[in-house]
Amino acid sequence: MFNLFKKKQDQGIMIGAPVKGKAVSISEVSDPTFGGEILGKGVAIIPEEGKVYAPADGTIDLLFDTCHAVSMTTTDGVEVLVHIGLDTVALKGEHFTAHKATGDSVKKGDILITVDLEAIKNAGYDVITPVVICNTDDYASVEALAGKEVGVGDDVLKITK
């Protein structure tokens, strides 16, 4: 009962997995823009299913016309980019279906995009999905929780203010 007034330990801001699959280090992404952390620190997920969900509560800043990527700002102010596959912008939206739009408010776990992963692989594209914190410099640390199988919404990034 006396613990009621103790300050709650700050667990940091947690970002969930937008897709089910294997979480790996962002350095495993062959594209240097992501693997070299040019856009920010993050994690990558090798997806098992073609459904992409909101990794946190927030607002969609930009759902690309080609539906290959979505940028959002969480209610905590974290700027998250989810990029489905590498060079998939070249598909011009083929094999992608959006379920939300730019400006929409979303809750963690809301469906954002469905993707035909097999069609994308058959077209010769890597489906690895980087999840990048674009405002990394605003935080003391951005830690990837990689090296494990993850379900949708499982913690994959821990951000410390």
φ, ψ (nearest 5 deg) of residue 63: -105, 110
> Which is catalytic among the residues 68, 83, 95, 99?
83
Active site residue 68: no
CA atoms of 42 and 27, how far apart (whole Å) = 9
Query: What is the three-state SS of 109-157?
Result: CCEEEEECHHHHHHCCCCCCEEEEECCHHHCCEEEECCCEEECCCCEEE
Q: Provide the annotated active-site residues.
A: 83
